[in-house]
Every structure is written in structure tokens, then in C-alpha cells.
């Protein structure tokens, strides 16, 4: 099946955590024309069994697809929508997701962190999600606790004066223009100068002007770090402001190597209770789909 720019891959465990992921996908489809590919992965057979048991593999796939279909139908309390496609694949959970994330076939991927990792359950621990994000060419929307609200109101973008913000702003513009959400730009400074005279503040004002020219409401906050580390200041700000989604970018060097995330981004992803949309600079531009 040929994929397009509005296709999203969603890993769905057959559990309460899978319902959280489905709820997030359903909410996003209300304001974006997304085609959801819901993926369930079953463990591979040993090599010698795969070699001589093609019939058994087919049966296992059929059984898994039926179980998956029943789970999704129960969630929707009826037929599955036509823009919601079920996929069942056999393979190693993390390796399969990394291959999908590196393929460039999907607009972005959606993953849920599990506090209760169990074998062969499609549940992912934080270390596994980090590995997938680190290797991914496409953005990853990671959910730690619960999905975003049905209506996005505030989208937080932490910025660093040393990094490019282009990709984050493109995605933020896409989400905000469709949901009428306000974008909250926050930068944490560990230097003892007037916030309003800092380079970060000047850069943030340029970003604000660009967003407002697109008709997007924007608010800027420059925070002094003092004796805290930057990610702690930003996480505390998130707790106080309670945004609905965070958009962050992998470190530019890490993104080039495709094997890690960058310390600041990783701490935000780990510490956030709200969904974090992590952008890779290696992903192709999305300017052509902006309104």
C-alpha cells in the first residue's frame, strides 16, 4: 500500500494502554486529515520453524489480526472507521518499529510508554522508546501518562539559542493553525542577565512575530535557571502552565548520528506527563502541507 504525507503509524497494545493510544489517534483525526495505521506486532517464530512452517505463520497472523480487530471494534463500539487501517506484523518489537521509523513512509509515529513492561505485549519501556526516537527519521509522539485533551489549547516549545527551531515551528504551526491553540515559547537561561536583553529573548520575539503573521497566538517566557539545571526549570514551568502538548527537537549532532536524542530533549521526554512530539531534523520539510 502506498503511503502519503498524512499517514501515521500507531503501536497499539491490547490493553488499557492501547485504549489511551487509540483515544489520542481519534482526537488528532478530528482536526487533521490523518490516516491511522494501527500496528500490532507478534513475536517471531524460531528460525527453523519459520523455515518449515509457512502455514503456521499464516494462521498466527490471522489469529492476531482477528484479536486486534475485536479489540479496536470494542474501543469504537462498532465498525472501525475507513481511515483507520489495521496492521499485524511478525518480528522483534523494537527492531520492527525502528525499521518503520527509518523508512520515511509515515508522517509521524505514536508510542505509549508502559510502566508495566511484559514480554511480547507491545508494551514499550522508556529505554526502548529512546532507542526508537534516536534512530527515527520521522517525528515520534510519545505518551507517558494520558493522551492530550480532545481540544488542544496550549502547545509548549522549549527553545535553545544554539539550535535551529525551523522544524519545531513548522509542526507547531500545523497543529496550532488547525486547533486554534496558543503556542508557548519558553527558554531557560543559566546566565545572570536581564531576560529581556538576552539573545534568547530576541530570538523568541522573532519567532513570535513570524507565528503571529501566520495568525497564531503566541506567548514568550524566558526563565532564569539559577542553581537548577535547564530541564528541571522547563519541567517545573510545564507543571505550572499545564500545556496540552510539547514539541521538542533532537539535538542536531545526535540527529545527524541517528543514535541518540540529546540530554535536554531526553530529560523533557522522560519527565513530561503530557505527550511530547519529538522532531528529527533529518525528516523532510512539511512546508507544503501547511495551510
160 Cβ neighbours under 8 A, 6+ residues apart: 187, 264
**What is the residue range of 63's domain?**
7-143
Q: What is the pLDDT of residues 155-182, one digit of tens each?
A: 999 876 545 566 677 788 888 888 889 9
**285 band by pLDDT with thresholds 50, 70 and 90:** very low
User: Is the CA virtual torsion 215, 216, 219, 223 positive or negative?
Assistant: negative
pLDDT reading at 224 higher than 90 = no
- Regarding predicted confidence, which is higher, 204 or 265? 265
Q: Does the residue 258 lie in any domain? A: yes
Same-domain check for residues 165 and 105: no
From 93, 117, 143, give the residue that closes a domain: 143
Q: Does the residue 159 lie in any domain? A: yes
Residues in the chain: 291
Same-domain check for residues 283 and 162: yes
Contacts 24+ apart (CB under 8 A), 237-244: 237/186, 238/156, 238/272, 238/274, 241/154, 241/156, 241/184, 242/154, 242/274, 243/154, 243/155, 243/156, 243/184, 243/274, 244/148, 244/149, 244/152, 244/153, 244/154, 244/155, 244/181, 244/274
Q: Does the residue 195 lie in any domain? A: yes
Same-domain check for residues 120 and 198: no
The winner for highest mean pLDDT among 8-22, 124-138, 178-192 is 8-22
**SS3 at position 195:** helix
Same-domain check for residues 56 and 165: no
Q: Does the residue 2 lie in any domain? A: no
Determine the pLDDT at residue 27. Answer: 92
In CATH, what number is assigned to the domain containing residue 54? 3.40.50.620
Question: How many helices (DSSP H) and strands (DSSP E) are in the chain?
Answer: 10, 10
Same-domain check for residues 188 and 267: yes
Q: Does the residue 148 lie in any domain? A: no
Neighbours of 157 (CB within 10 A): 25
If one counts the domains in the chain, the total is 2
Same-domain check for residues 165 and 280: yes
From 109, 143, 177, give the residue that closes a domain: 143
pLDDT reading at 239 higher than 60 = yes
Determine the pLDDT at residue 288. Answer: 41
Q: What is the pLDDT of residues 20-75, one digit of tens each?
A: 999 999 999 988 889 999 999 998 876 555 555 666 778 888 999 999 999 999 99
Q: What is the pLDDT of residues 79-124, one digit of tens each?
A: 899 999 999 999 999 999 999 988 878 889 999 999 776 665 899 9
- Regarding predicted confidence, which is higher, 6 or 42? 42
**142 band by pLDDT with thresholds 50, 70 and 90:** very high
Amino acid at each position: 500500500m502506498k503511503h502519503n504525507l498524512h499517514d501515521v503509524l500507531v503501536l497499539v497494545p491490547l490493553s488499557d494502554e492501547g485504549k489511551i493510544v487509540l483515544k489520542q489517534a481519534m482526537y488528532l483525526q478530528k482536526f487533521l486529515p490523518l490516516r491511522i495505521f494501527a500496528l500490532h506486532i507478534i513475536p517471531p517464530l524460531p528460525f527453523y520453524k519459520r523455515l518449515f512452517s509457512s502455514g503456521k505463520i499464516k494462521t498466527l497472523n490471522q489469529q492476531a489480526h482477528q484479536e486486534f480487530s475485536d479489540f479496536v471494534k470494542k474501543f469504537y463500539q462498532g465498525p472501525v472507521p475507513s481511515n483507520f487501517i489495521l496492521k499485524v506484523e511478525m518480528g522483534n518489537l523494537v527492531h520492527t518499529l525502528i525499521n518503520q521509523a527509518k523508512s520515511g513512509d509515515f508522517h509521524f509515529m505514536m508510542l505509549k510508554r508502559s510502566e508495566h513492561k511484559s514480554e511480547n505485549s507491545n508494551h514499550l519501556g522508556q529505554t526502548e522508546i529512546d532507542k526508537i526516537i534516536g534512530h527515527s527519521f520521522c517525528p515520534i509522539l510519545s505518551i507517558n501518562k494520558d493522551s492530550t485533551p480532545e481540544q488542544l489549547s496550549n502547545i509548549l516549545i522549549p527553545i535553545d539559542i544554539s539550535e535551529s527551531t525551523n522544524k519545531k515551528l513548522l509542526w507547531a504551526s500545523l497543529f496550532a493553525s488547525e486547533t486554534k491553540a496558543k503556542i508557548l515559547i519558553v527558554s531557560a537561561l543559566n546566565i545572570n542577565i536581564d531576560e529581556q536583553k538576552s539573545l534568547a529573548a530576541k530570538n523568541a520575539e522573532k519567532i513570535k512575530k513570524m507565528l503571529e503573521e501566520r495568525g497564531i497566538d503566541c506567548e514568550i517566557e524566558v526563565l532564569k535557571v539559577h542553581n537548577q539545571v535547564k530541564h528541571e526549570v522547563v519541567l517545573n514551568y510545564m507543571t505550572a502552565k499545564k500545556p496540552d502538548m510539547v514539541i521538542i527537537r533532537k539535538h542536531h549532532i545526535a540527529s545527524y548520528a541517528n543514535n541518540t536524542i540529546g540530554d535536554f530533549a531526553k530529560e523533557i521526554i522522560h519527565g513530561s506527563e503530557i505527550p511530547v512530539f519529538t522532531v528529527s531534523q533529518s525528516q523532510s520539510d512539511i512546508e507544503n502541507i501547511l495551510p
